[in-house]
Amino acid sequence: MAEHIDRSESQRSLDLITLGRAGIDLYGEQIGGRLEDMASFAKYVGGSPTNTAVGGARLGLNTALITRVGHDHFGHFLIEELAREGVETSGMIVDPDRLTALAVLGIRDPDTFPLIFFRENCADMALTAEDIDPALIARARALLVNGTHLSQPGVFAASLKAAELMKAQGGQVVFDIDYRPVLWGLASKANGEDRFVASGRVTQELQRILPLCDLIVGTEEEIHILGGTTDTVAALRAIRARTTALLVCKRGAEGCVAFPGGVPDSLDDGVVGRGFPIEVFNVLGAGDAFMAGFLRGWLRDLPLETCCELANACGALVVSRHGCAPAMASWDELQVFLAGTWPHRLRDSAELEQLHWSSNRHLDHDDLTVLAIDHRSQFEDLIAELGVGDAKAVAHFKNLALKAVDRMAKGDRRYGLLLDGRFGARALEAAADLPYWIGRPIEEPGSRPIAFEGSPDVAATLREWPINHVVKCLVFYHPDDDAEMRARQDRQILRLFDACRTTRHEFLLEIIASKHGPVDSDTIARVIDHVYGLGVYPDWWKLEPTSDPQAWAASQAAILRHDPRCRGIVLLGLSAPQEEILAGIAAAAPFSLVKGFAVGRTIFQDVAARWLRQEIDDDGAVQQLTANLRVLADGWRAARDSRAAA
């Protein structure tokens, strides 16, 4: 029995429901080689209708997905990731008896994209008509059905039922012909990438859905299979004889052409929109992005030329990137793309890539209170000073810190921890099951010029970190440092930023200037300007508290000038007494980019010393850590509330 989970997170009305396959794409990370020679794979959300649901959500459509996923890690990932993308997941059924589908993909050369489907008896192909919840369909104005699924009787019945319900309520049915011969048993199992094998049976099955359709989208080859002939105009006319739907033919680099009525003798005489020919990096997913872009226009009643333009732009952006779903454009990104001029090798545009990253980042953290306990040398010093304790004890204490945060936060995602991999590895592992924000230091403690822990290749170190660990790097940086010191630190910061983007980790840059020179109202703003000038866009800044409002105003203005989408600033503590931290919080709180704090020793130093000396036990330590954290968190929230009130 499949499990229906109540994930009706909202009862909002939906623009679009997509129906069909949802799987994992394992995407070869090496470019230009055979799948045989791939060494590593990136894990992404995949499956054509799922990609379109993500693409549509990023463009501002309210989307939902009807599918089945396995009761396995990948199935859970799909549900979690789609929820993060803003796709409603209440129609995603967990199938206890089947595994989540899998596709392995590679970028061999600009014309070859090997693809292997692992989808025999997989969860999404077991979708049945009973899985269609009329109440969910009733909330939407359009349904997207994919042709590939019509190869399975159960999925066919599910698609038909959903489409009939949609029609009955006056909604619109969209058909992505989406022909994958291998899934009809017409190509060898290893040739998932084959796009065309003529088959009267497939044509007949696909045509059964035509009377229900309002919009039909396909490549020329897909038009051929649906129309039953390899003459494109004749195929379009054969389709037109069976439906009044708007027909859209995708033409790769040439864009697309649409036929709202009769089909002219030449394809070029249909309706077209602006195209964006760019250098092909990866065509996989372009069609799904195209569909999302087209629907963003069509479901908002924009002119047909505009629908085609939006679709072409979305397709082009995906052609320039690795991955299908993660490559989809946000609405803001699309606007900037449409308004600008770009290199033919689109992926060379750092501006677009940064915009893509920052406008598609998941979850807002508008309020963040973090216990920073990533200290390493300070714990070594403490042990040496007290003459008690060892690395094992420190590791245990870091677990207590996690317990303290959990006790205080009780699942509230506004809390977090900074934990290191040296003493905090066990706590980091335990934190994986909890919902809190996790930051992790990469810097060699106290290093200046900044050096990184682990491999000399920092990207190699980050590859071993779970994707949700925010990379924190403390740099002792003063704008008046000598030129050589600055140049060496700049190179390292740039290297780290590049590594973070490569491995898809968020980056928190902590700047401490006060230890290496005088600090006035524009010292930190000068550092911030300089860092952006390097082409480095930290997701987060961690900055020293100051009671000088001009300094805060200058820092905030510098960040907003370069990166209005920056997640924000958290305050650091520098071991200051509690009252001083509270005063620092109060001074910073009026500035909207300040999102909270990441404070350590003020919260844990005395508790750690007493615990190491065995003056308090584990529970006592957790209690005191919780109490100290609570004072600062309450102080922050009170200050933040008065900001909101002002």
Ligand X SMILES: O=C(O)C[C@@H](O)[C@H](O)C(=O)CO
Ligand Y SMILES: Nc1ncnc2c1ncn2[C@@H]1O[C@H](COP(=O)(O)OP(=O)(O)OP(=O)(O)O)[C@@H](O)[C@H]1O
Cβ 191 to ligand X, closest distance in Å? 13
- DSSP label at residue 328: P
Q: Are 559 and 541 in contact (CB under 8 A)?
A: yes
Position 193 contacts ligand Y (CB under 6 A): no
- Binding ligand X (rule: CB under 6 A), the pick from 15, 21, 132, 371 is 21
Give the Cα separation of 555 and 576 in Å (integer): 21
Nearer to ligand Y, 116 or 417 (CB): 116
H-run or E-run covering 306:
helix 304-319
Q: Is 466 in the site for ligand Y (CB under 6 A)?
A: no
SS3 of the chain: helix, strand, coil, percent, to 5? 45, 20, 35
DSSP letter, residue 112: B
Q: Are 571 and 580 in contact (CB under 8 A)?
A: no
Taking CB under 6 A as the criterion, the residue among 285, 323, 326, 424 binding ligand Y is 285
- Torsional sign, CA 331, 333, 339, 341: negative
CA torsion sign for 537, 538, 544, 547 is positive
Residue 315 sits in the site that holds ligand Y (CB under 6 A)? yes
Check binding of 511 to ligand Y (CB under 6 A): no
DSSP string, 337-389: HHHS---SSGGG-HHHHHHHHHHS--S--SSEEEEEE--SHHHHHHHHHHT--
255 to 294: interface string for ligand X, x by CB under 6 A = -----------------------------xx-xx------
Residue 253 contact, options ligand X, ligand Y, none, Cβ 5-8 Å cut-off depending on partner type: ligand Y
Residue 283 binds to ligand Y (criterion: CB under 6 A): yes
Binding mask 102-121 for ligand X (x = CB under 6 A): -x------------------
Residue 103 near which of ligand X, ligand Y, none (CB within 5-8 Å, type-dependent): ligand X
Return the residue of 15, 38, 51, 61 that touches ligand X, per CB under 6 A.
51
Q: How far is the CB of 23 from ligand X (least distance, A)?
A: 5
Residue 614 zone, left/alpha/beta (φ > 0; ψ -120 to 50; rest): left
In the complex, what is the shortest distance from the CB of residue 314 to ligand Y, in angstroms, rounded to a whole number? Answer: 7
Decide which of ligand X, ligand Y, none touches 445; Cβ closer than 5 to 8 Å per partner kind.
none
Cβ-based neighbours of 561, under 8 Å, separated by 6 or more = 529
Which DSSP category does 88 fall into?
A: B
290 binds, among ligand Y, ligand X, none (CB under 5 to 8 A by kind): ligand Y
| Closer by beta carbon to ligand X, 103 or else 409 | 103
Confirm if 282 and 319 have CB atoms less than 8 A apart: yes
| Of residues 116 and 475, the one with the C-beta less far from ligand X | 116
Judged by CB under 6 A, the residue of 17, 19, 47, 149 near ligand X is 47
Among 2, 65, 319, 355, binds ligand Y (CB under 6 A): 319
Is residue 513 within 8 Å of 479, Cβ to Cβ? yes
Does position 48 interact with ligand X (CB under 6 A)? The reply is yes
Question: In which residue are the tokens 């480095």 written?
Answer: 536
What is the distance between the alpha carbons of residues 438 and 469, in angstroms, rounded to a whole number?
5
- Judged by CB under 6 A, the number of residues near ligand X is 13
- Give which of 321, 323, 324, 322 is closest to 337, Cα–Cα: 321
Looking at residue 140, the DSSP 8-state letter turns out to be B
Q: Does 490 bind ligand X (CB under 6 A)?
A: no
- In this complex, which beta carbon is closest to ligand X, that of residue 228 or of residue 285? 285
The answer to the question of residue 46 lying near ligand X (CB under 6 A) is yes
What CA–CA distance (Å, rounded) separates 304 from 214? 14
Q: Which is nearer to ligand X, 117 or 604 (CB)?
A: 117
SS3 279: coil
Q: Which of 124, 288, 374, 544 binds ligand Y (CB under 6 A)?
A: 288
At closest approach, how far in Å is the CB of 360 from ligand Y? 18
CA–CA dist 314, 292 (Å, integer): 8
Query: Which of ligand X, ligand Y, none does 458 bind, CB closer than 5 to 8 A by kind?
Result: none
Q: Which of 464, 542, 461, 467 is nearest to 506 (CA)?
A: 467
Residue with smaller CB distance to ligand Y, 148 or 461? 148
Least Å from the CB of residue 288 to ligand X: 5
Token duo for residue 645: 């009130």
Q: Which residues make Cβ contacts (< 8 Å) with residue 231, sequence separation at least 6? A: none
CB of 110 to ligand X, least distance (A): 16
* Closest residue to bound ligand X by CB: 46
Q: What is the DSSP string of 183-205?
A: GGT-S-TT-TT------HHHHHH
Pairing of strands 63-70, 142-146: unpaired
Q: Which is nearer to ligand X, 192 or 416 (CB)?
A: 192
- Rounded to the nearest 10°, the torsion over CA 525, 529, 535, 538 is 10
Least distance from C-beta 156 to ligand X, angstroms?
17
Nearer to ligand X, 46 or 171 (CB): 46
81 is a site residue for ligand X (CB under 6 A): no
How near is the Cβ of 549 to ligand X at its closest, in Å? 50
Decide if residue 383 touches ligand Y (CB under 6 A): no
CA atoms of 156 and 202, how far apart (whole Å): 12
| Smallest distance, ligand X to C-beta of residue 86, A | 19
401 CA to centre of own chain = 29
Residue ranges in 74-133 that form contacts with ligand Y under rule CB under 6 A: none
250's contact among ligand Y, ligand X, none, with CB below 5 to 8 A by partner kind, is ligand Y
Q: Cβ–Cβ contacts within 10 Å for residue 480, how many?
A: 12
Q: Which of 167, 251, 486, 488 binds ligand Y (CB under 6 A)?
A: 251
CB of 197 or CB of 395, closer to ligand Y: 197
Asked if residues 68 and 127 have their Cβ atoms less than 8 Å apart, the reply is: yes
Number of H helices, E strands in the chain: 21, 20
In angstroms, what is the minimal distance from the CB of 328 to ligand X? 11
Contact letters (x/-) for ligand X, 295-334, by CB under 6 A?
-----------------------------x----------
Which residue matches tokens 């309706």? 271
Q: Does 252 participate in binding ligand Y (rule CB under 6 A)? A: yes
CB of 46 to ligand Y, least distance (A): 11
Query: 124 or 490: whose CB is closer to ligand X?
Result: 124
Are 539 and 566 contacting, i.e. CB atoms less than 8 angstroms apart?
Answer: yes
Q: How far apart are CA 333 and CA 347, in angstroms?
A: 14
Candidates 88-96, 205-213, 248-256, 478-486 — which segment interacts with ligand Y by CB under 6 A? 248-256
| Residue 462 touches which member of ligand X, ligand Y, none, C-beta under 5-8 Å by kind | none
Q: Which of 15, 16, 23, 147 forms a contact with ligand X (CB under 6 A)?
A: 23
Please give the Cα distance from 160 to 174 (Å, whole number).
Answer: 12
- Report the interface residues with ligand X, using CB under 6 A: 21, 23, 25, 46-48, 51, 103, 284-285, 287-288, 324
- Report the interface residues with ligand Y, using CB under 6 A: 219, 250-253, 255-256, 276-278, 280, 283-288, 290, 311-312, 315-316, 319
